[in-house]
Amino acid sequence: MASDLLSYLNSDVVAEPPREDEAKIFAQFLSIATQRHIYPRSIAAAKRAIFYLSSKGGRKSLGVISTDEVLLNKFAGKTSDVWLSDQPLPLKLCETTTANAAALRSIFSFLVPRTLGLKKSAGCGDRLGLATPGHIRAIRHSSMAPILAQQSIRENARTGRTPQEVMDDALWGIFQEGWRDGFGADADHLKTTDDIDSCAAAGFTFYTIDPGEHVDNEANTAPVDVLKEKIGVLPWAELETSWADTQTRLGKPVDLDDFKLAIDDEELLRAAAKYGRVVAHTVKMYRHLEKVMSGEPFELEMSVDETETVTTLAEHIYIAQELKRLGVKWVSLAPRYVGTFEKGVDYIGDLTEFEKSFAQHLAVAKTFGPYKLSLHSGSDKFSVYPIAARVAGELVHLKTAGTSYLEALRTIGKVNPPLFREIAGFARERYPIDRASYHVSGEVSEMPDPGSITDDKLTDLLDDFHAREILHVTFGSVLHHPDFREPFFSMLRANEEIYYEMLKTHFGKHFAPFGDVAAISG
C-alpha cells in the first residue's frame, strides 16, 4: 500500500487520478498515518508530490507530501514527517487560505475556471461556501457544463463574503471531489464597473451584467407622445447612433428562420424607450470588462429578468441588434419571460404560452448569436425544464442559487429540529423586511406555524410554497444572526455527507430533464 502511494508520488506531470478502490486504500493509509479524515477523491499527484484534502474537528486542511523543499515553500503550513515504505517524508499541513488556494491552482489547471462556450450549462450558486461537493455529485450524472463558483454582489453583501472567498470555497470543494472536467465561475448580477474589478481580480470567467435599474418600465404602457419624449432624451452619444438611423436599421422585417417579424413604429418606440439605456449601460460595462481582462478569455451574460414587465420579441430583437452593432459579444441572455419565476418555487403561469414564447426568443438567439437563453431564478422550476431542454437543446443556461441554502435547512431540520424551528420562526418575523428586493408572493399568514409541527414533520415546511419563499429570502438575516450563524455552520460541517447527498438528489432532479452523463470536452 505504502509502496504504491510512493510510486504515485514520483509522478513528474499531473498524474491520472487513482481508481476509486485505490483512492480509498490510499485514504485509509494516510488517515492512519496522519490521524485525520482524508477525502479519497482529493488525492492527486504532480511535480513529485502528493496532494490531498483532510479534515479534523470540522476544520479542513491541505496536505502536501514532497521531498522538494522549493515546492513545499509555495505553501504556508506546518511541516512534520509521514512514513511511506519505511521512509520518513516531509508532510506540510496547510490551512485552506487564499494563498494556498492560489498555489494549488498553479499546479493543477483543472482548478482554474474556464469559459464554457455554447454548451448547455448550469450555475450552482453556493451562499454558504459548503455546497460544491454536493453540486459536483449531481453534475457527474448530468450532461450540463457546471459553473461552480457563482454569487451575486447582492448575495455577497448579505452573506458577508467576498468574490475571492466565493472562488476559493469553490476550489476546495472541487479539489475535495476530484472534479477535473472543467467549470466556470459566474460573477453574477454586476451593476457597476467596481463590481467587475473585484470579480476580475478573483479570477471569474463569466460575467452577468444586470442593467435592470436602467429599464424604463413606464415605456411598456406609455402613450406614443410620451414615448417620443423618452426617445428624445436617450443617451444617443453613448449609443453611437440616432433615432432616425435606428428606425432605418430596425424598420425592416427580421427573418427568424421559421418566421419573419416586422416591428411596427410603436413597437420600436417602446423597445428603444424601455431598453435604450440598458443597451448603453451594457456596452459601458462590456468595454470596461474587455479592458480589465486584458485579453484573458471571458464570457458575458446580459440579464433583464428581474424587471417588472415582460420582454417582448421586438424588444429582444432591439437589444440583440444594438448590442451586436456596438461590438458586444455575449454567450447568454436572460429576458423577462412570460409568467412568473419566483425564488425557490415552480413556474407560475401557462406552460403552453411559455413554450411558445420561449421558442420565439430562441429564434432571436439563434439569429443574432447564436447564444444561450438563460433561466434566472431557475431553482425548482421543474415544470419548465423539459420545455427548455426540448426547445433549446444546447442553447440553454440554468441559474440556481438559493435552493442550496434550502437544502442546508433541510439538513439542519433532520439533524437538529430545535435549531430549524427557531430559524423558521425568525424567518417569519424577518420576511416582511427581507422580501423587499425579491419577486416573491409568499405570505406569512399562509405559512404553517413551526411551533405547532412535530420534529419529524418540520422539514415538510420546505415543501410548502409560502414557507419555502419565506425561508429562501431571509437567508442573509439568518446567517448574520449571532444565535444562528455558528450552530448553523457547525451542524452542516458535522453532517456534511448528509448535506451532500441531499444536494445530489435535489440537483439531480434539476439536471435530469437536460440529459444524462456526457464528458465535457477540452
Measured CA to CA in angstroms, residue 100 lies from 61, 72, 158, 253 at distances of: 10, 11, 26, 56
The domain locations on the chain are: 2-107
State what percent of residues in the chain have pLDDT above 90: 93
Residues labelled as active-site residues: 188, 301
Chain segment 283-321, per-residue pLDDT in tens: 999 999 999 999 999 999 999 998 889 999 999 999 999
Q: Which pLDDT belongs to residue 446? A: 98
Q: Which pLDDT belongs to residue 519? A: 39
Chain segment 268-288, per-residue pLDDT in tens: 999 999 999 999 999 999 999
Helical segments of 106-251, H only: 132-139, 153-159, 163-177, 193-201, 224-232, 236-239, 243-250
Q: Average per-residue pLDDT in the chain? A: 96
Chain segment 227-249, per-residue pLDDT in tens: 999 999 999 999 999 999 999 99
Chain segment 2-42, per-residue pLDDT in tens: 678 888 888 999 999 999 999 999 999 999 999 999 999 99
Measured CA to CA in angstroms, residue 179 lies from 16, 59, 174, 175, 507 at distances of: 12, 21, 5, 7, 17
Q: Which pLDDT belongs to residue 85? A: 78
Using only C-alpha atoms, the chain has a radius of gyration, in whole angstroms, of: 25
Structural contact between residues 205 and 148, judged by C-beta atoms closer than 8 angstroms:
no
Phi and psi at 211, nearest 5°, equal -95, 25
Chain segment 155-181, per-residue pLDDT in tens: 999 899 999 999 999 999 999 999 999
Name the grid cell of 133.
Answer: 461537493
Q: Which pLDDT belongs to residue 2? A: 65
Cβ-proximal residues to 323 (8 Å cutoff; 6+ apart), any chain: 279, 282, 283, 302, 330
Q: Which pLDDT belongs to residue 86? A: 83
Residue 340 DSSP code: B
Chain segment 87-104, per-residue pLDDT in tens: 899 999 999 999 999 999
Measured CA to CA in angstroms, residue 325 lies from 98, 204, 333, 402, 434 at distances of: 40, 26, 16, 36, 40
Q: Could you tell me the pLDDT band of residue 522, with boundaries at 50, 70 and 90? A: very low
Chain segment 372-405, per-residue pLDDT in tens: 999 999 999 999 999 999 999 999 999 999 999 9
Q: Could you tell me the pLDDT band of residue 1, with boundaries at 50, 70 and 90? A: low
Rounded distance, CA 310 to CA 331, Å?
21
Structural contact between residues 20 and 178, judged by C-beta atoms closer than 8 angstroms:
no
Q: Could you tell me the pLDDT band of residue 182, with boundaries at 50, 70 and 90? A: very high
Rounded distance, CA 330 to CA 495, Å?
40
Look at residues 293, 277, 374 and name the one whose alpha carbon lies nearest to residue 333: 374
Rounded distance, CA 459 to CA 332, Å?
36
Q: Which residues pair with 79 in a beta bridge?
A: 92
Q: Strand, helix or coil at 86? A: coil
Q: Is the pLDDT of residue 370 over 50?
A: yes
User: What is the average per-residue pLDDT within 217-230?
Assistant: 97
